[in-house]
Amino acid sequence: MPTKASNAARKEETAVEAAAENSIILDLPELALELILEKLSPAALLSMASVCSSLRCRCRSDHLWGRHMNQKWRRVIGEESERFMSKEESFKHKGWMNSVPSCICPLSWIKSKYFGGWRSASPSLRFDSTMSCYLALESGKFWFPAQVYNREKGHAGYKLSCYDAQLRYDRRSDTFFARYPPHGRKPAKFEEGIEWDRVRASPVNTCPHDLHVSNCLSDLRPGDHFEIQWRKNKEFPYGWWYGVVGHLESCDGDESHCRCHENDTVILEFRQYMPGSIWRQAIINRKDHREKGNELDGFYGGIRKLHSKEEISMWTRLWPDEILE
Per residue in 34-82, pLDDT (tens digit) is 898 999 999 999 988 888 888 888 899 999 999 999 999 988 987 554 4
- 142-154 residues labelled b (16+ CB within 10 A) or e (exposed): bbbbbbbbbbbee
More confident position, 22 or 198:
198
Output the pLDDT for position 17: 54
Amino acid sitting at position 18: A
**Cα–Cα dist 206/109, whole Å:** 10
Q: What is the pTM of this model?
A: 0.78
Task: Determine contact, residues 264/286, Cβ cutoff 8 Å.
Answer: yes
Break the chain into its structural domains and give their ranges. 26-74, 130-200, 224-318
Task: Determine contact, residues 166/144, Cβ cutoff 8 Å.
Answer: yes
**Cα–Cα dist 250/217, whole Å:** 20
The total number of residues written for the chain in this structure: 325
Pairing state of beta strands 265-269 and 239-246? antiparallel
Amino acid sitting at position 321: D
Dmax (CA) of the chain = 80
Top-confidence range, 7-21, 112-126, 179-193: 179-193
Q: Radius of gyration over alpha carbons of the chain, in Å?
A: 24
Mean pLDDT of 90-114: 35
Element (H, E) at 177: strand 175-180
